[in-house]
Amino acid sequence: MTATATAKPTASETADALLRRARTAFDAAPPLGDAAYTRYCRELAALLQERRPDIQAANRADVRRAETRGLPPTLVDRLRLTDEHFDRMVELTDAVVRELDAVLADTRGVPAGDWGVLRGVPKPLGVALMIYEARPTVTVDGALLPVAVGNAVLLRGGKESAATDAALAATVEAALVSAGLPAGLVTVLEDPDRSLMKAVLARPDQVDVLIPRGSPSLIEYCRTASSIPLIASGGGVNHLYVHRSADLALAARVTLNSKIPEPAGCTSVEMVLVDREIAPDYLAAVLAECERQDARLTIRLDSSMAGPAARDDTPWRTEPLEPHDLGREFLDPVIGLRPVSGLDEAAEHIRAYGSRHTEGVLAEDPGTARRFTRLVDAAMIVVNGSLRLHDGPKLGLGSEISIATGRLHVRGPVTLGALVTTTWVVEANGELRD
């Protein structure tokens, strides 16, 4: 056998084959709104339920490998696919079906001068590439939302979830075929070699949109390594500003709800900026709320603050806030606490260290809240509520695939409506142009 016959394909050759498969499937797929897309959503829900034991077995293997490698507990938790996760994935398929009619409706015709009628017709974006870290639920998000509105998608998850993603990929392919859609509409990139990802990123002629989800370093890598148009989710370096007029009991509940349920989530609070004169009272309120909820929390205090000593029975503890903690995602039940002289200093800190994802203000004074929303730039600003409210379904905006922090095309929850573009159709009735 010759060396040529046994040679492994290069990353570029593999990328070409994968992209041809995706583009061919996209071109062969039925028009947007065809009943096959609804069938696909329902078939995927049924197969996720049917194959749940096999997928969870693969997931347990991934989790064991992650624990053996010594990954931090928060990252291991991201890998887990619990029954609750499965229930949510099935609910997501139902939600997408309910939302499709509104997303896919042609716009009502409007007059074009006195001679014609103009209307917008939704069309898919094309071939999408999603790059994300080891969170298997995102594999289902990526295989569902873009495809339901006619796109083809290539999914590249973290190597830590390889077995789970392979089981999910087989489930997705079976759902596509059963629904009468091309199997190539979803491709899970199983090769962990970064050279393959680089080769795909170098193909703006074949990939229409890039959707990275993960750490700031991943987003920045995608931004600089490719010229493919980007829907960037950005990192979640998020802040709460607690004004002197705030209800401190509410502020304590909001702080814990913005951190404890999902400490590594992109809407998690990382730094609390509190007016200096109420900082001790705010800290006392948070510690009391930690004890009431038995919520484990570490608070890193600015050097200007002295915290009480933790007892053996307290769920909280305090540590010094270090310079490298500014602008940091802790990815753990940890927050920083820094006193400020007022709103202007808080806004200046957020401009310097925030990721323009989700910011919040706690103030009973409406003028302060309004001024905060004008001074601070973010995809979402929450007034007197949890930062975790930044969620498409919770806000009534619909199912989301990510939260975008860029300024073009979409900002905030990336819902089904952001995964289509518009073809303008003009009924010209024989009109000519001078």
What pTM, to 2 d.p., does this model score?
A: 0.89
Query: Which tokens is 434 given?
Result: 């001078």
The number of helix segments (H) and strand segments (E) in the chain equals 15, 16
Predicted pLDDT of residue 2: 47
Residue for token digits 């347990």? 60
Strand-strand pairing, 116-124 and 110-112: antiparallel
* Percent helix, percent strand, percent coil in the chain, to nearest 5: 45, 20, 35
pLDDT per position as a tens digit, 97-147:
999 998 888 778 899 989 999 999 999 999 999 999 878 999 999 999 999
Instruction: Tell me: pLDDT of 9 over 90.
Output: no
Provide the pLDDT confidence category of residue 1 given band limits of 50, 70 and 90: very low
3-state secondary structure of 232: coil
What is the C-alpha separation between 223 and 309, in angstroms, rounded?
45
How many Cβ atoms sit within 10 Å of the Cβ of residue 2?
Answer: 6
pLDDT per position as a tens digit, 252-278:
999 999 999 999 889 999 999 999 999
What is the C-alpha separation between 285 and 136, in angstroms, rounded?
37
pLDDT per position as a tens digit, 386-416:
999 999 999 999 999 999 988 888 999 999 9
For Cα atoms 382, 343, 269, give the angle at the middle one, nearest 5 degrees.
40
Q: How far apart are the first and last CA of the chain?
A: 69
Picking from 215, 54, 223, the residue whose alpha carbon sits closest to that of residue 134 is 215
3-state secondary structure of 56: helix
pLDDT per position as a tens digit, 313-333:
899 999 999 999 999 999 899
DSSP for 84-130, written as a single string:
HHHHHHHHHHHHHHHHHHHHHPPPPPEEETTTEEEEEEEEE--EEEE
Predicted pLDDT of residue 234: 67
What is the C-alpha separation between 390 and 386, in angstroms, rounded?
8
What is the C-alpha separation between 215 and 263, in angstroms, rounded?
14
Strand order of the β-sheet with 297-301 is 316-320, 297-301, 334-340, 269-275, 238-242, 358-362, 380-383
Q: What is the mean pLDDT of residues 5-30?
A: 91
What is the C-alpha separation between 264 and 278, in angstroms, rounded?
28
3-state secondary structure of 215: coil
Average pLDDT, the chain: 93
55: amino acid identity, one letter: I
Predicted pLDDT of residue 6: 63
